[in-house]
Structure 1
Amino acid sequence: MYDNYRTNGNLGLGLTVNAPKSALMYFGQWRLPSMLMIQLAGERLTLRTWHKFLGLHLDTPRLTMATHNNHLRSSCLRCLDIMKCVAGVHWGADRNTLLRLYLAFIPGKIMYGTTLYKSAAQTHLKKLDVVQTMALHIVLSVFKSTPIILLHAESGVMPHSIYRMELDCHLLHRISALPSSHPVSSLYCLSTVLHQPPTWPRVRLPYIIRNIRACHTLSLNLPRPAPVTPLPPVPLWKDLSPYVSPYFPAPFLKPTDAVLAQQLFYTMDSSTYKDFLGIYTDGCHSPPSSFVSVAYFEDLSICQTWSFSGRYDVLTAELIAIFQALEFIWTFLQPQPSVLYTDSQSSLTLLLPDHLVTHVRTVHAIMEHLLFLVTPHWHLHLQWIPSHVGIRGNENADAAAKQALTSSTLLHVTPDCANSLNLHAAPAYCTLRQPYLPPTCGVFAPTPQNTLRHAIPVETLM
């Protein structure tokens, strides 16, 4: 195979390496004593000192990421020139507009690839912090001698160092849930420095050690290794596709065809799912980190609500609603034909074969319930329906979810998915963020028409 790869660049499995577009790079502690002579498909590969790969500029031989940081700084400075033109001197946009421009152009560039280039020296990372400071000066229109901590407090923008530390904690939390066969999970499980990570001055720390130190800085308990098997609980000879329908019987347009959608739904409900117990599920999100899952049993006049908090998404709330509805059916109801209506097409797509990518634990838990509820005695189906087209059961579930956000009589549950970590409950994290939160009154006394307090309330930053 090596001879075939060296002569014509064929890797097998239909993959071929394009020699003119390929580059040769060497990474190590020392420089090469002599030039490498490597040929691919009869063409000599060029030995480069830097190369751009997936938006990251890699430099040899030490991989200091200095080239990437310099290129990133130059790109962000061009965006600052646009903000200066929009801000003007005697005229220009207000703070709200300038802050939106900054959040749209600069943080996305800086945070892309942070996992790789955050191991660079602090002198290179501080160059990017200077870009953020310059942008906040333009947004707030203050003197250059203004303390940096006041810039963050007035604008409500956290420093990049805190974002990088938060990202380290989330990555370590996700590593703990990787399959045991994953090489990164093996490094975490076999690590002997979990409780007291070493400190090596002037040396770049390994990937796992950096994440562990971030958790220690925020006084967070290290997550225990809990690998998630990538194999679903459904056996190979069992197919759940006939019981999951992520599509509507006929295409229609929203919202102009809302009446047609209602007619198609009631026709399907009275024919395909006649004499079925109708169950409607929905998930709702309220900033900053409150989620509610609802299961509405229309025929039984029962509405169940569950709430949880954390850095999750609406898809998690939809999956929790489906899981809790199946749990309620299995626990309290007698075997009968049932149909579960949901307006989340993504949730049902994850239940189909070869579509599972995220939310592994929650989806596997739903599949385990489906294995027991798709028997002839239960005859359960999961059906997608369009949202906000006037379907009575779906509208009632949506109204119950919004009303439950302000209710205190909720059954609190913890989503069983390892893709999030609630840092806002950590005292050390709150203490670290406190100096950068907006004060009760403006430091620079902005006018009511030109204030950030209306656009970004203090409650949304806690």
Structure 2
Amino acid sequence: MVIGPDKNIKIKYNNLEIPLTKAHKFLGVVVDDKLKFDQHIAYISKNALKAINALRCLTGVFWGADPKILATLYKSLVRSHFDYSCLAYINACQTQLKKLDVIQNIGLRIIVGAMKSTPINALEAETCIPPLTLRRLQLAQNFCIKELSANNKLVISNLILPPQLYQNLDDNVVSVNNVNNRQLPELCTLMSSIHKNFVNMYICNDNLWSLYKCEYEALTNTAYKINIPNLKDNLDYLQFISNKQDYYKIFTDGSKTKDFVRCGWYDSQLKCKQVMNLDCNASIFTAEAYAILQALLYIKNVNNVLYNNFLVISDSKSVLLSIEGQRLDYKLSHIIYSIKNILYELHISGKHIEFLWVPSHRGIAGNEAIDRALAHATGLDTDHSDKLKLPFTDFYYVSKQQLKMLWSKYWASVNQEKGRWYADIQKSLPIKPWYSREQCESRKYITTISRLRFGHCLVPTHLCRLKIVNNDNCPYCESPKADLDHIFFSCQKFGLQRLAMVCDIQDIAEKEKLRVPRRLQEILSFPCFYRTIYEYVQCTVEKL
């Protein structure tokens, strides 16, 4: 295969001419001589459609697997084909990328049992699965973040823009128009943008991940102990430490709000504390881990000959489990490896360290003291925002939040043209699908409610618009324009059922302290009314 304007090049090996090909598969990527990647997109589309058929075997519209399970299967069986090698075809033409969008749309309809006419933006919001353009952008940014942290000079030097273009680069290189047109900036633009904006990232200057800098003895050290008892309140805590009177106790905590990220430790013997301000991009995990690291450094330097046993008390179970765990990979925070190194040094010096998990905000004196110090740290804090370089995984979260904001802007821009009924119900993008909170509900219940939220269901007006039926008359009372409002509020056939529904809605609204809704969209805005709505459908039209 020859990539370039001259296609008449003859390549020989041992006087034998090697035949040229227009495309070749390498590591699962079909590369063509024009770098259009149309053959590769056709290849992954074929494989993804096979996985779509597997989803179809597991569910129908009103029967089958739970939508949460189907969403997981879609991401692992179907979308994984799109994710792999997406950096190769990320700038392919819009016509080719649209083929992948069509397959995702099929998967989303299967998940929630939606009709083919359902607006795509409403499907994406209902399932909380973003457009493939945003998915490709997320994977591209994660790749750039990882390579910058690994200090991969070969990749970085080839992807960073020249100085003049780099200086003139806008802070926001991706806009809503990029999502609408399925066209993202080139990878070098994304790499330069991340390099310019994410400045406080931990960089492996010697090309070694933190795992390889940690001593082997520190990685295998088990001299420390981590206690995670089932403590409920201060009484349980006092009972637990009654057997540890000879331990020097230090409390640690971290706090993250929209205004600041802080962490600190509190010495309950000397009544002293230290509060540290961190970079605003730091995660709560990083803040809690850094607090423990600073507490161990304090223990290492404290001049106290009366104690050899130290108890570090934290309310972060995830950090303690990471310290205790045997996970050894490049994604684990460099702070955890630093903690393991210091624990080994303390063990060699004859100091025994134990950790204790306690629940937060349960009246435990030391925990409340450091919590108050973090909330009101004026004059007591020290700035560690430049001293602590953040793990690259923290910037994964920052990137994810930026993409959510971009998705919200995209949603606001398109819902006035498509999916207006759904947008009147779902005012903003949900964090999780509404059905993720439902337990032991049938597939028919979930698909019925979702179709009502979409406004695309088996009512005569919609079926007539799709030319499935000849007229939009109500099959029960022969009234014209039988839409959802007619079925729920006007049809003379369902007077008794409607009266029971209205009474139930009034009772629920009074119980939940809500204003009684007057429109169907208002009713569908509150999940507490869904069971009543579904029961009305079941005893009237049976399915929608």
Please classify the TM superposition score into its range, dividing by the shorter chain length: 0.5 to 0.7
**Per-residue deviation at 1:243?**
5.3
**Per-residue deviation at 1:73?**
0.9
What's the CA shift string for 1:162-193, capped at 9, x where partnerless? Answer: 22223344444444444374441575275431
Give the greater-gyration-radius structure (CA).
2
2:303 is matched with 334
User: Is 1:184 aligned to 2:165, yes or no?
Assistant: no
1:116 is matched with 88
2:45 is matched with 73
* Range that drifts further, 43-52 or 157-166: 43-52
Provide closer, same or farther for how the CA distance between residues 298 and 108 of structure 1 changes in structure 2, counting only shifts above 3 A.
farther
Q: Give the counterpart of 1:432 among 389, 394, 409.
A: 409
Provide closer, same or farther for how the CA distance between residues 157 and 144 of structure 1 changes in structure 2, counting only shifts above 3 A.
same
1:60 is matched with 32
**Per-residue deviation at 1:159?**
0.7
Provide closer, same or farther for how the CA distance between residues 433 and 27 of structure 1 changes in structure 2, counting only shifts above 3 A.
same
Letter in 1 for 2:406: Y
Structure 2: runs of 5 or more not aligned: 174-182, 225-242, 313-318, 378-383, 416-421, 428-433, 451-524, 526-544
Q: Give the whole-Å Cα distance in 2 for the aligned partners of 1:45 and 1:108.
A: 35
SS at match of 1:192: helix
Letter in 2 for 1:396: V
User: Is 1:207 aligned to 2:176, yes or no?
Assistant: no
1:91 is matched with 63
Letter in 2 for 1:320: Y
Contact in 2 for aligned 1:281/1:394 (Cα 8 Å): no
What's the CA shift string for 1:88-137, capped at 9, x where partnerless? Answer: 25533454443333233222332222223313222222211111111122
SS at match of 2:12: coil
User: Is 1:229 aligned to 2:205, yes or no?
Assistant: yes
1:126 is matched with 98
**Per-residue deviation at 1:349?**
6.3
Provide closer, same or farther for how the CA distance between residues 43 and 428 of structure 1 changes in structure 2, counting only shifts above 3 A.
same
Contact in 2 for aligned 1:280/1:397 (Cα 8 Å): no
1:29 is matched with 4
Provide closer, same or farther for how the CA distance between residues 144 and 240 of structure 1 changes in structure 2, counting only shifts above 3 A.
closer
2:542 is matched with none
User: Is 1:167 aligned to 2:139, yes or no?
Assistant: yes
2:290 is matched with 320
Contact in 2 for aligned 1:361/1:416 (Cα 8 Å): no
* Range that drifts further, 305-314 or 171-180: 305-314
Provide closer, same or farther for how the CA distance between residues 80 and 296 of structure 1 changes in structure 2, counting only shifts above 3 A.
farther
Contact in 1 for aligned 2:255/2:263 (Cα 8 Å): yes
Contact in 1 for aligned 2:160/2:191 (Cα 8 Å): no
Contact in 2 for aligned 1:244/1:348 (Cα 8 Å): no
**Per-residue deviation at 1:48?**
4.9
SS at match of 1:109: helix
SS at match of 1:74: helix
Q: Give the whole-Å Cα distance in 2 for the aligned partners of 1:207 and 1:178.
A: 17
1:19 is matched with none
Please give the residue correspondences for 1:437-448 in structure 2 after superposition, counting only pairs within 5 Å. Answer: 441=425
Contact in 2 for aligned 1:102/1:135 (Cα 8 Å): yes
User: Is 1:156 aligned to 2:128, yes or no?
Assistant: yes
What TM-score do you get using the length of structure 1 for normalisation? 0.58
Letter in 1 for 2:42: N
SS at match of 2:29: strand
1:417 is matched with 390
SS at match of 2:33: coil
Letter in 1 for 2:33: P
1:396 is matched with 358
Contact in 1 for aligned 2:109/2:123 (Cα 8 Å): yes
SS at match of 1:58: strand
What TM-score do you get using the length of structure 2 for normalisation? 0.50
Q: Give the whole-Å Cα distance in 2 for the aligned partners of 1:43 and 1:283.
A: 68
Q: Give the counterpart of 1:140 among 105, 112, 127.
A: 112
Q: Give the whole-Å Cα distance in 2 for the aligned partners of 1:305 and 1:397.
A: 20
Structure 1: runs of 5 or more not aligned: 1-25, 250-268, 384-392
Q: Give the whole-Å Cα distance in 1 for the aligned partners of 2:208 and 2:68.
A: 47
Letter in 2 for 1:208: C
What's the CA shift string for 1:217-264, capped at 9, x where partnerless? Answer: xxx963349754136799x9x995555544479xxxxxxxxxxxxxxx
Provide closer, same or farther for how the CA distance between residues 190 and 313 of structure 1 changes in structure 2, counting only shifts above 3 A.
farther
Letter in 1 for 2:105: T
Contact in 2 for aligned 1:175/1:185 (Cα 8 Å): no
Provide the aligned length of Structure 1 versus Structure 2.
375
Letter in 2 for 1:207: L
Provide closer, same or farther for how the CA distance between residues 330 and 170 of structure 1 changes in structure 2, counting only shifts above 3 A.
same
Provide closer, same or farther for how the CA distance between residues 343 and 47 of structure 1 changes in structure 2, counting only shifts above 3 A.
farther
Letter in 2 for 1:334: N
- Aligned CA RMSD, in angstroms, stands at 5.9
Q: Give the whole-Å Cα distance in 2 for the aligned partners of 1:317 and 1:206.
A: 34
Q: Give the whole-Å Cα distance in 1 for the aligned partners of 2:222 and 2:55.
A: 45
**Identity of paired residues, percent?**
18
Provide closer, same or farther for how the CA distance between residues 178 and 85 of structure 1 changes in structure 2, counting only shifts above 3 A.
closer
1:257 is matched with none
Please give the residue correspondences for 1:273-312 in structure 2 after superposition, counting only pairs within 5 Å. Answer: none
Letter in 1 for 2:102: V
SS at match of 1:229: coil
Q: Give the whole-Å Cα distance in 2 for the aligned partners of 1:64 and 1:113.
A: 14
Letter in 2 for 1:324: Q
Structure (1/2) with the larger helix percentage: 2
Letter in 2 for 1:223: F
SS at match of 2:64: coil
Provide closer, same or farther for how the CA distance between residues 410 and 43 of structure 1 changes in structure 2, counting only shifts above 3 A.
farther
